[in-house]
Amino acid sequence: MGTHTDIHEKLIEASKMGDNRARRQLYTLYSKAMFNICYRMMNNREDAEDILQEAFIQAFTKLDSFRYESTFGAWLKRIVVNTAINALQKRKVELLLTDEMTHYGNRSDEVDEHELPLTVADIQAAMQQLPEGGRIVFSLYLLEGYDHLEIAQILGITESTSKSQFMRAKRKVYDILKEKYYEKA
């Protein structure tokens, strides 16, 4: 693991020294992207805003531990994801993380998923309808770029549970979008 040169190194170093103006600039640079992660995981704006604030407080508290082994954005994203997961677990929300796979029969009315004229808004709306466990795995894998082994470690589940949750969530999103497509047609 080589050290990365971070484009915001001066801001990070000033922030480590307690410079609030530098911290505000880092917040401004990263808050929108990090909010989007929070929103996808928490599924509502108010919780996402709370998680974002908590994650930034943690990040600034732990800033001395940032050693440029990754980019600042990747380091911060990990804190954001962990903060969101901790909040979800604290709420004692049942994540419905099971190894059971729902079996789908072959359907002759199957539309090729590449034929659906979808927008990002359509996909986001479908994601909001997923059960929390599936939505989190789906978000971490597809949108945040974590692999199933990393997701398993983050959530404290098995890699096969992560894979089955993702496949089930993907199928559910597809079914929701297909239904929406037929409504439009």
Give the CATH number for residue 144. Answer: 1.10.10.10
User: Which residue range(s) make up the domain with 73?
Assistant: 9-90
Whether the predicted pLDDT of 77 surpasses 60: yes
38 vs 93, more confident: 38
Q: Is residue 154 part of a domain?
A: yes
Same domain, residue pair 85 and 117: no
Q: Is residue 103 part of a domain?
A: no
pLDDT digits (tens, 9 = 90+) for 109-165: 444 444 556 676 777 788 889 888 888 998 888 878 889 998 888 888 899 999 999
For residues 148 and 162, is the Cβ–Cβ distance under 8 A? yes
Whether the predicted pLDDT of 97 surpasses 70: no
The CATH number covering residue 15 comes to 1.10.1740.10
Same domain, residue pair 74 and 134: no
Same domain, residue pair 117 and 81: no
Whether the predicted pLDDT of 107 surpasses 70: no
CA–CA separation, 15 and 32 (whole Å): 19
| Domain total in the chain | 2
Same domain, residue pair 136 and 80: no
Q: Is residue 21 part of a domain?
A: yes
Same domain, residue pair 38 and 70: yes
What is the pTM (predicted TM-score) of this model?
Answer: 0.63
For residue 91, name the pLDDT band (cuts at 50, 70, 90).
Answer: low
Average pLDDT over the chain, rounded to whole? Answer: 81
